[in-house]
């Protein structure tokens, strides 16, 4: 007959192992939950649900995380590494729409890498997303987002607040490209996003400003 004390110890051991596994499984989502907590208070039940309906993915350097012209099936929250989203015009010229990274300077358009319009409408993506280094993301599929919006009050509240911020950022970016001269765009970059100059090459900075690298050099020489 099995000693009852040993049986209790056995089940306690199994419980501890399972608990550790659960904690480890949820820990990958901590950066995303921390970001959510900047907007709302996320309870433990919501943390578990969000962790269950998301996953961690690593992309190698130069990998296209999203291809222009294809569907945008997932939302990527940047945990580490650097990426950029860019579009290509009719002449084959590429313009960097946004840089993606996660540090103290990040705003929402830096933290999330996907085509918002394509994700919502299921239309082909207007941008590509390229990993500029090894990138770690927390990924949410369309089905996972829809489930969380329906079944997780905290996620629904956070999404509403994020949408407001995303709209403002998108409007500001489009207004900058459409109405400002190259010099004005560069001055705005120096004032609002000077950290980008330390993080990314001149080639990508020029692309972000919508100008050629030689034009960027000329503007800098005039300062």
Beta bridge partners of 56: 138
Tell me the DSSP string of 203-221. HHHHHHHTS-HHHHHHHHH
pLDDT at 2 over 60: no
Q: Which residues have C-beta within 8 Å of that of residue 69, sequence separation ≥ 6?
A: 124, 125
Contact of 111 with 78, CB cutoff 8 Å: yes
**Predicted pLDDT at 196:** 95
Contact of 130 with 64, CB cutoff 8 Å: yes
pLDDT in tens, 38-93: 999 999 999 999 999 999 999 999 999 999 999 999 999 999 999 999 999 888 88
Residue ranges of domains in the chain: 4-179
CA proximity to 86, closest of 107, 65, 104 = 65
Span of 22-31, 50-59, 192-201, 214-223 with lowest mean pLDDT: 22-31
pLDDT at 17 over 90: no
At 179, list the tokens: 């109405």
The CATH number fitting domain 4-179, selected from 2.60.120.10, 2.170.270.10, 3.40.50.10480, 1.20.120.1200: 2.60.120.10
Contact of 2 with 10, CB cutoff 8 Å: no
Contact of 154 with 42, CB cutoff 8 Å: yes
pLDDT in tens, 88-114: 988 888 899 999 999 988 888 889 999
**Predicted pLDDT at 11:** 55
Q: What are the strands, taking DSSP E only, across 31-164?
A: 55-59, 64-66, 74-80, 83-88, 94-100, 112-113, 128-131, 135-141
**Predicted pLDDT at 12:** 59
Q: Strand order of the sheet with strand 135-141?
A: 55-59, 135-141, 74-80, 112-113
pLDDT at 21 over 70: no
If one counts every other C-beta atom within 10 angstroms of the C-beta of residue 140, the result is: 24
**Predicted pLDDT at 14:** 60
At 168, list the tokens: 């403002």
Whole-prediction pTM: 0.84
Q: CA-to-CA distance for 36 and 34, rounded, in angstroms?
A: 5
């Amino acid at each position: 007959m099995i000693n009852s004390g040993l049986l209790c110890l056995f089940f306690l051991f199994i419980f501890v192992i399972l608990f550790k596994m659960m904690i480890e499984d949820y820990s990958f989502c901590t950066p995303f939950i921390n970001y959510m907590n900047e907007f709302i208070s996320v309870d433990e039940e919501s943390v578990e649900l969000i962790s269950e309906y998301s996953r961690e993915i690593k992309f190698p350097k130069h990998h296209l995380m999203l291809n222009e012209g294809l569907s945008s099936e997932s939302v990527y929250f940047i945990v580490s590494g650097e990426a950029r989203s860019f579009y290509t015009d009719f002449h084959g010229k590429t313009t960097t729409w946004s840089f993606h990274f996660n540090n103290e300077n990040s705003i929402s358009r830096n933290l999330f890498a996907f085509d918002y319009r394509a994700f919502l409408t299921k239309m082909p993506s207007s941008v590509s997303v390229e990993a500029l280094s090894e990138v770690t993301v927390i990924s949410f599929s369309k089905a996972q987002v829809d489930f969380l919006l329906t079944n997780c009050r905290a996620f629904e509240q956070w999404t509403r607040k994020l949408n407001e911020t995303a709209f403002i950022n998108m409007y500001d970016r489009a207004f900058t490209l459409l109405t400002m001269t190259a010099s004005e765009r560069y001055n705005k970059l120096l004032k609002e996003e000077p950290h980008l100059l330390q993080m990314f090459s001149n080639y990508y900075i020029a692309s972000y400003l919508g100008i050629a690298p030689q034009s960027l050099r000329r503007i800098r020489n005039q300062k």
